[in-house]
Structure 1
């Protein structure tokens, strides 16, 4: 991980300095910006392995920046962690729905932020274990070799997190996957964090699956599973 490049964008210099200090202590290459409007061009030239992005910034919000990055083919797969002073659940959900991989509320622990950065980068870099290279449920086909998911032949544009989430549930069709289990196996989090992260990603995944979304069954209060039979929409 000592070669990984991190871009930190926050309008508060104290925050970017703090984050950069702790990331550099772990041998990451770090670039910082305090101007959201310059962050798009910087991301395109720097090509970071991960972006840490404040939500509440003047002129351009972190959510707007995230959506622009997700629309750029060269940056669409780059993991994004939001820093947010917003405590409301719907604000955090909006951040995840814009395409972010994770979020951390201010004030935050620099140690926890570094651990989350390392966890996401390990997940992105780790090769998928060869359990089943090709999986099929209904009209959903998943190919681990090509990292591609299709529905009725149409290729879906899934993030790395969405792909791994779907693959784990398809491999274990019929078995309930608790939110905690998914956090550990998809996000590599061994500590208790907000499980709404899982719910938001499942909701995004269902939207992308379209007519095949009924295969994902919610087990209220527990988690999710790929059903043995597609549920009605």
Structure 2
């Protein structure tokens, strides 16, 4: 896995840009994808250490993308953080059932994003 690369899958370019700037300031490299199909193609080639995915996207939603990642041997161990403007208990549970390691509601505080992502990556590397 590419140890400092994070894939951001979100159909909102402003969100992708904000998350990219936040992650790059924390020492990560960020790649963006505008939909789930694009993200799936990037995942298999780039093999990032983590992915941040919106729940609702065109072509393939975040739940489907998460399931795909967890069923792909080369990337199944990466940290996955779901983000959404919808924080209903059902959606959070569905994201975790799909294989996400964590869930953040939009708007996202940059410090919370980086902290949560670093924790998830550490846990994945330690096998926790």
Question: Shared topology, TM-score over 0.5?
Answer: yes
2:37 alignment counterpart: 37
Of structures 1 and 2, the one with the larger relative CO (CA 8 A, separation 6+) is 2
| TM-score (normalizing by structure 2) | 0.92
- Where 1:49 maps in the other structure, the secondary structure is strand
Off by >3 Å, runs of 4+ in structure 1: none
Q: C-alpha offsets along residues 67-120 of structure 1, whole Å, 9 cap, x if unaligned? A: 111111111111100001112101110000000000101111111001111111
1:231 alignment counterpart: none
Greater fraction of residues in helix: 2
Measure how far apart 1:55 and its partner are: 0.3
Structure 2 gaps of 5+ residues are none
8 Å CA contact 2:6, 2:30 repeated in 1: yes
- Where 2:48 maps in the other structure, the secondary structure is coil
2:58 alignment counterpart: 58
Measure how far apart 1:56 and its partner are: 0.8
Q: C-alpha offsets along residues 136-167 of structure 1, whole Å, 9 cap, x if unaligned? A: xxxxxxxxxxxxxxxxxxxxxxxx4xxx3xxx
Structure 1 gaps of 5+ residues are 127-159, 165-233
- 2: CA distance, partners of 1:87 / 1:35: 20
- 2: CA distance, partners of 1:33 / 1:6: 11
- 2: CA distance, partners of 1:74 / 1:27: 23
Measure how far apart 1:27 and its partner are: 1.3
